[in-house]
Amino acid sequence: MDLRDRHIVITGGAGALGTAVVNGLLEAGALCHVPCLDEAETQRFALRERPRVEVAITGSLADEHAVARFYRSLPRLWASIHLAGGFAAGPLRETSAAAMHQQVEMNLLSCLLCCQAAVQAMQGGAGRIVNVAARPGLEWRSGAGMVAYAASKAAVAALTAALAEEVAKDGILVNAVAPSIMDTPANRSAMPNANFDLWPKVEEVAATILFLASPENKVTRGAVVPVYGKS
């Protein structure tokens, strides 16, 4: 996979999956642009000082002005990968409107605004956009106990398919992955009795994202790819 001299945005790049994606992009020669909420998130990003990594403190990606400002500051983009989001569990009867709004902002609105800015930044040339939905966003019954999260991720899947159709004529291919629970330190800590061997590794999920974001992907668009591992 050759991504030399191609500029790529990775939101959520400081997280476990994001770090795996950035690492893979660097190995392929890409120039990586990672927006962070604040200085604390920047300091958590293990790859922040690597060559060909540019980190920017943008504030919330649910702020349309912050997102537009960040994307306007970048060179011509090849790809934009949207990993940023958040999880909240709890029965719907105990979910406040504020909690629902938070899930929509973190998972749907941030993705939508970054997609919009990426499409504008890619005008006049081909490009790739990759979003992250989730298994409960595809298999709705599995979203019991996390209804707000499942609904917001289902909306990301719908956004992906609709936008893919809208911009295909421009040479922009839009896709998403839908992970199940991934093997991360945080998830192991939260579920210490789970069978970790069944969970997909972040490097494995990253490999699918890298293909969808690469020039080698010439025809796939509008897909929401399950990346469940053995789970």
- Kindly report the CATH number that applies to the domain delimited by 7-227: 3.40.50.720
Measured in whole angstroms, the distance separating CA 213 from the mean position of its chain's CA atoms is 11
Q: Is the pLDDT of residue 125 over 90?
A: no
Give whole-number Cα distances, 26 to 34, 50, 57, 83, 174, in Å: 12, 9, 20, 17, 21
* CA pair distance 161, 174, nearest whole angstrom: 8
CA angle 34, 180, 148 (to 5 degrees): 80
Task: Provide the whole-model pTM.
Answer: 0.96
2-59 residue pLDDT tens: 999 999 999 999 999 999 999 999 999 999 999 999 999 999 999 999 999 999 999 9
76-86 residue pLDDT tens: 999 999 999 99
Which pLDDT value is given to residue 105?
Answer: 98
Please check whether residue 179 is in contact with residue 205, taking contact to mean a CB–CB distance below 8 angstroms.
yes
149-199 residue pLDDT tens: 999 999 999 999 999 999 999 999 999 999 999 999 999 999 999 999 999
Which pLDDT value is given to residue 36?
Answer: 98
In angstroms and rounded to an integer, the radius of gyration of the C-alpha atoms of the chain is: 17
Confidence class for position 124, pLDDT limits 50, 70, 90: confident
Closest C-alpha among 136, 137, 150, 130 to residue 220: 130
What string of H, E and C letters represents the secondary structure of 148-210? HHHHHHHHHHHHHHHHHHHHHHHCEEEEEEEECCCECHHHHHHCCCCCHHHCCEHHHHHHHHH
What residue spans define the domains of the chain? 7-227
Residue type, position 180, single letter: S
Q: Is the pLDDT of residue 231 over 90?
A: no
Which pLDDT value is given to residue 129?
Answer: 98
Which pLDDT value is given to residue 154?
Answer: 98
Mean pLDDT of 103-122: 97
Which pLDDT value is given to residue 104?
Answer: 98
